[in-house]
Structure 1
């Protein structure tokens, strides 16, 4: 997602513009435009990872200062504790001083955007058969929906029976059962809202994926 803006009177709502980012490493690019002489501008970027409407210090993903009109970049990491889905991102540029997330100032700009945080809810494991190095087995698994509310569907690329375990983020085992070709749905109705890990044991090969119950 790219957006070129002008003077918006100090604030602009661009939440209709959406960029998709995933857990792990990401990069954001930004630049200042000057009508005449250049000045030192201070940049800050926040992402409301927990969807509480507050841009906390721990949610600041980029900051710095520059008097250049060149394109700048910052690398940041989306934590695995972040909630998935549409999430507000705030970008501030303030003249001659570092701004806060909810500050009113005379010279600069505040702009809000939307980032769609996604979790790669599929796993692909390549395993070499121990009996012959020329035989390979591919385990392709899709887990959806994510986030989930009442059920979790596990789809395999081929017919097989699979043992699974669900643990919380502390590693505590919550539930264990089996999945079969004709039974590939996990009932989540008794689960508390939160983040869980689904571990699948497929013919001795372990695949783990993260999902959110909400």
Structure 2
């Protein structure tokens, strides 16, 4: 379902489609768990996903964009059983590893999407429905000539805002200073969003420290959080 009043967003690819073979464990996770837990964005039928039917219950839906290898995602999902937690990722072994982690933790409120988050948001999530969107440590594209490939652009912020329910939150985090400034500028300029803090948000204690964050700390980079709410 697409909002006719909103321009259709088809930006340049904002992620690297990384290769890599799955481990034996990750392959087993795909074979055992993907039929129930996963769907491929490109294969979804037209219209919004019926998350209530997929999860087998009605609950607030939270979308995490870019779950990586799933260490943080699995912990966040198990810590919030009241949410229908959806993770979208393009990296096959990462989704396999996330299913392994979810299996180990006994996570039941997690579903996975393989593919482009922009396509998922545009074509398969109805407006005004998400309780939250999380974007933690997206590809920073640090070289200036690649900044246009960063996912956080005005059109993307408008798309996310349109899919959030009133009061729903858009939570971003990055350890690249220039990208953090860009996130703040872009989201502050989106009329449908308001910053819940005066600038940067305090680092939430509930957000696990990722390997990216640990490396950034060793390299002297500061991680910054931003939390915006749908007006």
TM-score, normalized by length of structure 1?
0.25
More helix per residue: 1 or 2? 2
TM-score, normalized by length of structure 2?
0.23
Larger radius of gyration: 1
More RCO (CA 8 Å, sep 6+): 2
